[in-house]
Every structure is written in structure tokens, then in C-alpha cells.
Amino acid sequence: MVGKLSTMRGGGQSTRPVSKRPPNWVVYQPDEVKALIINLAREGKSQSQIGNILRDVHGIPLVKPIVGHGIRKVLEEAELASEIPEDLYDLMVRATRLRRHMERNPKDYANKRGMQLTESMIYRVTKFYKKKGKLPRDWNYRREIVTI
């Protein structure tokens, strides 16, 4: 099977290019792409927002073939990367929203289950990032970390 089947759930996405080289129609040089990433990060954009803007506005499909590494690495070099990885932070924001909803609606058992699943996922992702060295070994998830 070459690509994803479109009849499968979630199979409608495009697949990543096979080539490791940047497409010949991309006109940006590595330094220009780095400057774009840094400027967007200084505007307060997250990594995923930066990737979407580069793709949709500037026509840069992937940063890695052009620069040699991803957006996170560029932000780390410029000391603009957040301490907590973006996916973990988004899960923490979701858990905070669910907890706030639970305080107002204590009988919402479906939401209680959703909060349990979200916090479980937070613990699994935290364990992964500790193993990879992206989070300090002594870092622990606390409910007070994220305030919306």
C-alpha cells in the first residue's frame, strides 16, 4: 500500500514528501526562513501556528529540508522556545478548562471521564518528555501551572 486509504477514518490528509531535499519551487534561503520563524515567534505565535503561516502565506511546505532542522530547534537557538512543549501545554490548558467546568457542573460525569483521560495523557506525555530529556526529571504536572 503506497498511501493512506481515503475510506479509512482520518485518511484524507496529504502525505509528507519522500524527498529530503527542499522543493525546487521554494525561493527562500535557510537564513530567510530562520528570520521568518524568529519574527513570528516574537509576535507571540506558537510552533504550530508558525508552521501553518509558513505553509499558507509563504509557500514553505516543510522547514526541515530547507534549514536542516525543525521549528523548535530554530526557536531554541534563538532562545525563544517555551520550557514546556506545545502539545503538553495544550493538554494542560484543556485539563484546566475541564476542571473549571467540573467546578460549575459537578454532576457532569462525561466531563469527569474526559478530565481523567486528559490528565492520564498529560502523565504519559510527561513521562515521554522526561525520557527524551526535553523536561527536567524533577518536573511534575500541577494543576496551578496553567491559568487561562
Under 8 Å between Cβ of 22 and 66: yes
pLDDT score of 1: 45
Query: Among the residues of 43-108, which ranges form H helices?
Result: 47-56, 64-67, 71-77, 86-104
pTM of this structure = 0.78
Instruction: Write down the mean pLDDT value for the chain.
Output: 88
Mean pLDDT, rounded, for 37-58: 94
Grid cell in block for residue 66: 530547507
Under 8 Å between Cβ of 37 and 63: yes
Measure the CA–CA gap between 27 and 59, rounded to whole angstroms. 9
pLDDT score of 23: 84
pLDDT(137) > 70 = yes
pLDDT single digits (tens) 4-31: 555 556 666 777 777 888 888 889 999 9
Measure the CA–CA gap between 75 and 81, rounded to whole angstroms. 5
pLDDT single digits (tens) 71-111: 999 999 999 988 899 999 999 999 999 999 999 999 999 99
Measure the CA–CA gap between 106 and 114, rounded to whole angstroms. 13
Grid cell in block for residue 25: 519551487
Question: Which of 14 and 50 is assigned the larger pLDDT?
Answer: 50
